[in-house]
Chains A and B, each alone.
Chain A
Amino acid sequence: MTTTTLPRPDTAAGDRPEPVLSVRDLRTAFKTSHGIVRAVSGVSLDVYPGECLGVVGESGSGKSVTFASVMGLVKKPGWVEDGEILYRGRDLTRLSDRELRALRGKDIAMTMQDALTALNPALTVGEQILEVLRAHADDLPRGRAGRAEARRRAVEMLDLVGIPSPADRLNEYPHQFSGGMRQRIMIAIALACRPRLLIADEPTTALDVTIQAQVLELIADIRARLGMSVVLITHDLGVVAEHCDRVVVMYAGQVVETGPTRAVISDPKHPYTQGLLDSIPRLSDLSHPIRPIQGQVPELIDLPPECRFIGRCPKRTPDCRTGIDMRPAGPGRAARCILVGEETEA
């Protein structure tokens, strides 16, 4: 398959700076007893400095695997088959494990969906933050002064994520915190070294709505204060609508649509995005009927080159049998659908 050059998102500000992270034609596969599952097949996307990029998709869309690949966290029986992951011009796929470890946590940090299992239950919260600081913060002085400084920064991080009386709670264990607080702690650990890029994998899926709102606002607030980029991986288009500048919609291991959030939501170009939007009950208009997408996500084994949404698409045509690349679909937008070009011409 060919690598598609995605149109650069244009903004009112004019030319964008170079992306912080640029993924090109990424392919990640997993070996299973049924065959090789191509979880990510040819994903390309960019994350620009200071932006919040939403990555939306259902289970099996490859959204989490894409960023596990970026972090070098794909474990056997999975592997990155092909593609480039450019972080500020360096290809992460060519780095050694040691170089990657040095980058992880310091430049790029990731928070996991399930904070309870992602945190080490045997270590206090403070120890876990200090661990990251010791591993990455080069500016810490040696000896006792360094330890005191690291501790001070750990308290500062807990304070930053809104944990009351942070100095005391540093000595507590993860199970002593509520779900929302644990998610905050994971964000604190991720932010300990002030990364340029925070990848938040379903940060609020396990949380109640009122707590979800708190955590998302916290991420937005810290992004503004530290000037970092955030990738928000989620299945919830509502969360994207509220918090993300741009959105990447993924389906069955591919990017199917990308563009500025507002534009994509108000005028989706890909039938999958349209279907997704139609299947969500909207508080603003409950008389509006919800229309589910029929069928199931295809299994990602031995897929033919046809459009992956073909089995569920209400607008399918015989031409969909041939493979489709991303096509430009308006300013800063692209979609993987053969109808896109026609629509623009019409």
Chain B
Amino acid sequence: MTHMTTDIRRDAAATTATATGRAAEPPVLLRTTDLVKHYDSRRGLWGRITGRPGSLVRAVNGVSLDIRRGETLGIIGESGCGKSTLGRAILRLHEPTSGSVVFDGAEITELGRDPMMKMRRRMQIIFQDPYASLNPRKTVEDILIMPLKLHGLAKGKAARDAAAAMIENVGLKTAHLDRFPHQFSGGQRQRIGVARALILNPEFVVCDEPVSALDVSIQAQIIQLLAELKRELGLTYMFISHDIAVIGYVADRTAVMYLGEVVETGRTRDILAEPRHPYTQALLSAAPRLDEPGKAARIKLTGDLPSPLNPPPGCKFHTRCPHAMDVCRKVAPAPVADAQGHMAACHLIDGASGKAEAPA
């Protein structure tokens, strides 16, 4: 695990320290340490012989995060920042390249096939695209019963009853069980996706942009449904989104990702009230506002996201940062956290106070 990562471990240590200070904090359910997922597209034998570098996509590049039982951790970032890959690497849907994922005390990355299969009951995922995430050839009932049979939890009538109970839990009707996915609208399909994820009664759910593909009014229905289910079932969410308003609404704590790295974490309200990393500030000011249009002084980012194939040296944000200094081009900033666990990785931040030196 001696990977070239920014050392966010210190953040983890900092939050743990503050956590011990406040006994009321629930225990950490999931902890990633230096989690790395690279996609090596050097193809075939020839590429391996020559070892030609260059096509290594650093999708997730050393992410350390804690998720406490019962909380919702929001992950925000733009396309290509690695937020979806992070969710999949945690669940080992894409095998992590290196780093550790500890879930309720167990190191997931080292589990064999059978223990991992058992572990999957406890951690589930809800997908973004309600059209691609349901098998078009299966009825809703088949979709919901499959996980129960797979884990030997129920079969026959018991399984059908469980499916019926679940489908009503997500606001659909038992009459819907015989239907195929194409007979539903996007919002209804997303409810089916939620039902499938929850039928095994998991503790932890990765919500990967669950409302991004939905219309605004339907989006609110699903957000509300997820919130209700979380309350009823005591779930822990990792909620991935590109919409900072949605994150602001659902997440207790938030991690901001840029080019495969976490640039800022903290309580959501702290991040929204006092964003420290220039990228977070830009993200926040770019979000269109209903009530106070044009109020936020727009921080204009120029240019596009650099390619994750060839990320810039130093601070990865320096190519677009309005405050970029010489040091930013050479040295990756170390994360700095304050007593509340509000962390940001930026050279502008004063190590003592944890606050930004130059107001944005």
Contacts and interface: CB of A to CB of B under 8 A. Distances in A.
B248 A296 contact: no
A293 B290 contact: no
A183 to B, nearest CB: 11
Contact of B272 (A180, A275, A283): A283
A281 B215 contact: no
A55 interface: no
A199 interface: no
Interface in A207-225: 208-214, 217
Interface residues of B, number: 42
B78 A210 contact: yes
B242 A279 contact: no
B318 to A, nearest CB: 15
B155 interface: no
Contact of A281 (B187, B249, B298, B302): B249
Rank and list the top 5 A-B pairs by shortest CB-CB distance, nearest first.
A238-B288, A292-B220, A279-B220, A281-B249, A208-B78
Contacts of B284: 283
B288 A180 contact: no
29 contacts: A58-B217, A178-B305, A209-B244, A209-B283, A210-B286, A210-B301, A211-B304, A213-B286, A236-B216, A237-B290, A241-B291, A241-B293, A242-B294, A266-B291, A276-B216, A279-B216, A279-B221, A281-B220, A281-B223, A282-B291, A283-B245, A283-B248, A283-B289, A284-B291, A286-B248, A290-B220, A293-B220, A293-B221, A297-B185
Interface string B286-318: 111111111000101110110000000000000
Nearest to A291: B220
B79 A213 contact: no
Contacts of B29: none
Interface of B: 78-79, 185-188, 215-221, 223-224, 242-246, 248-249, 269, 272, 282-284, 286-294, 298, 300-302, 304-305
A181 B304 CA distance: 9
A5 interface: no
A294 interface: yes
B287 A238 contact: yes
Q: Kindly name the residue among A214, A217, A242, A293 whose own CB sees the greatest number of chain B CB atoms within 10 A.
A: A242
Contacts of B248: 281, 283, 286
Nearest to B269: A286
Interface in A268-303: 275-286, 290-294, 296-297
A305 B219 CA distance: 28
A58 B288 contact: no
Contacts of B287: 209, 238, 283
B290 A282 contact: yes
B282 A210 contact: yes
A179 B242 CA distance: 16
A291 B227 CA distance: 13
A258 to B, nearest CB: 18
Nearest to B285: A213
Counting chain A residues whose Cβ lies within 8 A of the other chain, the interface size class is 35 or more
A265 interface: yes
A213 B287 CA distance: 8
B249 A279 contact: no
A196 interface: no
A279 B219 contact: yes
Contacts of B246: 281
A212 B286 contact: yes
Contact of A283 (B78, B244, B293): B244
Given A280-B216, A283-B248, A293-B217, A242 B293 contact: yes
A282 B245 contact: yes
Contacts of B293: 241-242
Given A213-B300, A217-B300, 16 more contacts: A178-B304, A211-B304, A212-B288, A235-B215, A236-B288, A238-B289, A241-B293, A279-B216, A279-B220, A282-B245, A290-B220, A290-B224, A292-B218, A292-B220, A293-B221, A297-B185
A285 B291 CA distance: 10
A120 interface: no
Contacts of A178: 304-305
Contacts of A279: 216-217, 219-221
Nearest to B249: A281
B221 A294 contact: yes
Contacts of A296: 185, 187-188, 218
Nearest to A278: B220
Given A180-B304, A283-B244, A292-B220, A210 B283 contact: yes
A239 interface: yes
Given A282-B291, A290-B224, A292-B218, A209 B304 contact: no
Given A242-B289, A283-B244, A286-B249, A214 B224 contact: no
